[in-house]
Chain A
Amino acid sequence: MQALVIVAHGSHLNPDSAQPTYDHADTIRKTGAFDEVREGFWKEEPHFREVIRTVESDEVFVVPLFISEGYFTEQVIPRELRLEGWDPDLWESDGTDATEVTLEVGDAEKTVHYCGPVGTHDAMTDVIVKRAETVTDDPDVGPGFGLAVVGHGTERNENSAKAIEHHTERIREMDRFDEMRALYMDEEPEVDDVTDYFESEDVVVVPLFVADGFHTQEDIPEDMGLTDDYRTGWDVPGIVDGQRIWYAGAVGTEPLMADVILERAVDAGADVGDALEQVESWTSERPAAGD
């Protein structure tokens, strides 16, 4: 038997924070690829501390629904899951390369495959592009458009920016959008000045966040000048300095994220049958060209 455990932050204050975790877990449950699929949280229940004991399977694939490697993936989650012998060096990562490490846990007779966070997986690049397609309702969006990938950015964790840059560079290599930029909330270049960084008339802004919450639904729309007051909402696209801003909201809410979670588990050795194809077919349903 194999189980998938998706670990996420959750919130004591915001009931929507855990929603993407539940949604993606439900998608993966529907594939039947795992005997058990469970959610575990830092700020909700079941807590990281107790989630492993709720599974019956001997083999557990733990996928952090986090954007970057850092404090949570390297310290909090391994400690709270009681991963025995854990050391960040086991991942042999320079900030975006963590894939998997197999360890035992201290409170149950289980083998845990502890995976890298979803945010740094290469498949995440496709989710960002997919998000741009979703928000513009155009499966071929690209020519004539700029794309901004927005991260939190923080001086405390250099890996936070690395994940953003990683995907920005990969999308740039696709040569699909006219312009590409990585922007941040708390460091330069800042998302506040989004229109300074693009010449294109249309700019898609995709925040690399797991859930919609304070930052993506309050800070960023106001900082960009998309709205004076987040409570009154904003248009998509909205006009800022004469440019059309297609604000996408948190990338983590994109249904295709379930695919990245599965990819992480597959990289760690999970046997998921044709689940990847199933998830892709469910999440790529869109009208054919000309419809």
Chain B
Amino acid sequence: MEATGWRVADEVLEAFLETVLETDEDDQPVIDFDGLVAERLADGSTYRLETSTTTVEIEASTVANATERSMDELRQSLEPIGPFVTNWYVWERTVGGRETARRAFLRWCEGAPLDDPKVETVASKTDTSDVLDRYDALESGVVRHWGELQITTRLATEDGGCTGTGTGTGTGAGERVYEIRHVQDADATDETLEDHDDPRDAREIVTYDADGRYRPLKTAPTLVAGWRFAGLSGDDLVETVRTIYPATVANWHREQCGDLDVDHWLETAERQTGIYDVIDELPRETLEWLTEACCVDSQCLKRREWEYAADDPIDTDPGDGVFPCREPCSLVIAAARKWAILESEEEKTWELELTTTEMNQLAEIVDAVADGRVDEIREADVYDGANRYRARYLRAKRMDDGSLGEGATNR
């Protein structure tokens, strides 16, 4: 980034000087943040502000006796390190919340290393720690994916808009502005999307799928497209993400800090009471089927971290989601109750009168329902075994009393 011409806003300048003035003489830098070090030299005459590429020195007397004119001079002398100063202001004053999930998430959004002493992950090391590189990227917009969300972070312009639109180099406060849209709308023009700026609008968006059906699982990959949240502050961004994918930021942050608490199947099942008390009776081998049914990428965007037990892993692919799943969710628990009851039934041998094609057709119907393909089968496609007319014909021919059992005998 070309730092020349970077005008540091008044509120940033004031906050920065106020902090620098707090420097005492014990040789400790008063600011040591994202590559910016501010310290007072031992003799007390000078403040030294240092980055990897530039060093600015300011006489203590200038800072202590600042007039309007000398403030302008100070502002000019800070220009070479403007991005570092505004970057410090944003994270220390606007965002705050050291060691919180909110701050970590906002840092992740712009590709900044997570400045949390508990975080020592590989992921954070690959991010751009250099502030100038990061500001360059923020000019054009840093894009991240969170489930089905595409989150873009930019520097705000004076009119509250975003950079990258030819309107200038920011407010001088370093303020970030965020946009969220569906990944499917990555290339959609803004005008074609429904605009929102209130995080609570997201509640309506997440409640129904494209067919208008209720979505009880927020991380199901069925989020509708066609909308965008634009001009969001950091707090509103986090609130919107929380509404769309509840608790994912908190659990991801714990994972980044290396202290994600995972409750495996058995612990979760044994904790249940009331009508769910039975689920710990679900046989071990059924957990593969259960996770294949519910906990794969086609059904849920979370990455399963829980196993049958800590020393008894489940073979099903845990998924590739960016946010972790730390214990079986309430939908899995509810489904498991049904399976626990069903699996207690004894197996029997049945004798059915079916042609080979009819037998195969049953498998095609199960497949179509399991993959949610039923609505895609064309009305007249009688070559598909799960076609409605084919299924109705089978029912008419073989299910006089509403069940396949008419012609079947239980041996």
Which residue of chain A has its CB nearest to the CB of B102? Answer: A56
In the assembled complex, 8 residue pairs joining A and B whose CB atoms fall closer than 8 Å, in A order, are: A12-B334, A13-B214, A13-B216, A50-B246, A51-B247, A54-B249, A56-B100, A71-B274
> Given A26-B200, A53-B247 in contact, is the A12-B330 Cβ separation under 8 Å?
yes
> Given A12-B330, A43-B330 in contact, is the A22-B218 Cβ separation under 8 Å?
no
- The smallest beta-carbon distance between B181 and chain A, in angstroms, is 21
Chain B contacts for A12, CB-based, 8 A: 216, 330-331, 334
B residues contacting the other copy or chain, number (CB 8 A): 30
Inter-chain pairs besides A45-B217, A53-B247, 18 sampled, C-beta below 8 Å: A11-B216, A12-B216, A13-B214, A13-B216, A14-B214, A15-B208, A42-B330, A43-B334, A44-B218, A44-B330, A46-B246, A46-B247, A50-B246, A50-B250, A54-B101, A54-B242, A54-B249, A107-B261
Chain A contacts for B216, CB-based, 8 A: 11-13, 43-44
Chain A contacts for B208, CB-based, 8 A: 15
- The smallest beta-carbon distance between A8 and chain B, in angstroms, is 13
Which residue of chain A has its CB nearest to the CB of B249? Answer: A54
Chain B contacts for A215, CB-based, 8 A: none
Chain B contacts for A15, CB-based, 8 A: 207-208, 214
Q: B329 contacts the other chain (Cβ, under 8 Å)?
A: yes
Chain A contacts for B329, CB-based, 8 A: 45, 47
Chain B contacts for A79, CB-based, 8 A: 271, 273
Q: A134 contacts the other chain (Cβ, under 8 Å)?
A: no
Contact between B214 and A53 (Cβ–Cβ < 8 Å)?
A: no
Complex alpha-carbon distance, A49 and B251, angstroms: 12
Taking Cβ atoms with an 8 Å cutoff, the residues of A that contact B are 11-15, 22, 26, 42-47, 49-51, 53-54, 56, 71, 75-76, 79, 107
Chain A contacts for B274, CB-based, 8 A: 71, 75-76
Q: B327 contacts the other chain (Cβ, under 8 Å)?
A: yes
Taking Cβ atoms with an 8 Å cutoff, the residues of B that contact A are 97, 100-102, 200, 203, 207-208, 214, 216-219, 242, 246-247, 249-251, 254, 261, 271, 273-274, 326-327, 329-331, 334
Q: Which of A26, A45, A56 has the most CB of B within 10 A?
A: A45
> Given A12-B334, A76-B273 in contact, is the A45-B250 Cβ separation under 8 Å?
no
Complex alpha-carbon distance, A11 and B326, angstroms: 21
Which residue of chain A has its CB nearest to the CB of B331? Answer: A12
Which residue of chain A has its CB nearest to the CB of B273? Answer: A75
Q: Which of B214, B242, B246, B326 has the most CB of A within 10 A?
A: B246
Complex alpha-carbon distance, A53 and B326, angstroms: 13
- The smallest beta-carbon distance between B394 and chain A, in angstroms, is 29
Which residue of chain B has its CB nearest to the CB of A45? Answer: B246
Chain A contacts for B331, CB-based, 8 A: 12
Chain A contacts for B242, CB-based, 8 A: 54
Contact between B218 and A45 (Cβ–Cβ < 8 Å)?
A: yes
- The smallest beta-carbon distance between B219 and chain A, in angstroms, is 8
- The smallest beta-carbon distance between A93 and chain B, in angstroms, is 20
Chain B contacts for A53, CB-based, 8 A: 247, 250-251, 254
Complex alpha-carbon distance, A14 and B216, angstroms: 8
- The smallest beta-carbon distance between A81 and chain B, in angstroms, is 12
- The smallest beta-carbon distance between A108 and chain B, in angstroms, is 9
- The smallest beta-carbon distance between B29 and chain A, in angstroms, is 27
- The smallest beta-carbon distance between A74 and chain B, in angstroms, is 11
Which residue of chain A has its CB nearest to the CB of B327? Answer: A49
Complex alpha-carbon distance, A275 and B247, angstroms: 27
Chain B contacts for A13, CB-based, 8 A: 214, 216
Complex alpha-carbon distance, A49 and B327, angstroms: 9
Contact between B330 and A54 (Cβ–Cβ < 8 Å)?
A: no
Contact between A22 and B330 (Cβ–Cβ < 8 Å)?
A: no
- The smallest beta-carbon distance between B336 and chain A, in angstroms, is 13
- The smallest beta-carbon distance between B340 and chain A, in angstroms, is 17
Chain A contacts for B334, CB-based, 8 A: 12, 43
- The smallest beta-carbon distance between B253 and chain A, in angstroms, is 9
Complex alpha-carbon distance, A54 and B334, angstroms: 24
Contact between A54 and B207 (Cβ–Cβ < 8 Å)?
A: no
Chain B contacts for A42, CB-based, 8 A: 330
Contact between B207 and A47 (Cβ–Cβ < 8 Å)?
A: no
Which residue of chain B has its CB nearest to the CB of A25? Answer: B200
Complex alpha-carbon distance, A47 and B250, angstroms: 13
Chain A contacts for B218, CB-based, 8 A: 44-45
Chain B contacts for A71, CB-based, 8 A: 274
Which residue of chain B has its CB nearest to the CB of A53? Answer: B250
Contact between B250 and A54 (Cβ–Cβ < 8 Å)?
A: yes
Which residue of chain B has its CB nearest to the CB of A38? Answer: B242
Identify the 9 closest CB pairs spanning chains A and B, nearest first: A46-B246, A45-B246, A50-B247, A46-B247, A12-B216, A15-B214, A53-B250, A54-B250, A45-B218
